Amino acid sequence: MSAPAQCPAHPIPDDFMILLTRKADFSSAHFYWNDAWSDAENERVFGKCSNRQGHGHNYTLEVTVKGSIDPTSGFVVDLKEMKEIMEREVVSVYDHRHLNHEVPEFQQMQPTTENVAISIWRRLAGKIPNAELYRVRVYEMPDLFADFFGEGA
């Protein structure tokens, strides 16, 4: 079956940009700790999150890309390929891992929601064909999320 032609009644201009978001979930453990501080200061600043055994979250990741719609396929990106990239670059690295101990970037950086979003951006930047990475949103809990729009955005 051949791909449908662009609808002549509603042509899409070549410079028309659209945002497309794909979601993924992963579960990870983490804790917050600053070695330069005393135990008491860590507990004061980070509260229960300073327990060095860690605690877990079921994270939701939203990756938004920006691009032009291909007039033949009607897609901005190949969604299967985008899912595979997110799985390879993020989910397989973070899922069922202790971020502080098992994910290299968090050896020297607090695994806060904000830093997780930045780290995921860096893992995905330039890897999704035919689209520009627009936003990474990471939900640590349903009522807590961080958005990152890129370096220098």
Is 105 among the residues known to form the active site? no
30, 57, 89, 140: which one is catalytic? 140
Q: What CATH number has the domain bearing residue 78?
A: 3.30.479.10
Q: Give mean pLDDT, residues 68-85.
A: 93
Of the candidates 105, 113, 108, the residue with the CA atom closest to the CA atom of residue 89: 105
Per the CB < 8 A criterion, the answer to whether 149 and 134 are in contact is yes
Mean pLDDT of 61-82: 93
* 150 contacts: CB under 8 Å, gap ≥ 6: 121, 125, 133
Q: Which domain holds residue 62?
A: 17-148
Residue 8 located in a structural domain:
no
For residues 30 and 46, is the Cβ–Cβ distance under 8 A?
Answer: no
For 111-135, the pLDDT digits (tens) are: 999 999 999 999 999 999 999 999 9
Position 106 in a domain: yes
pLDDT value, residue 34: 96
Residue 9 covered by a domain: no
80: left (phi over 0), alpha (psi -120 to 50) or beta: alpha
pTM over 0.85: yes
Annotation says 49 is catalytic: yes
Number of domains making up the chain: 1
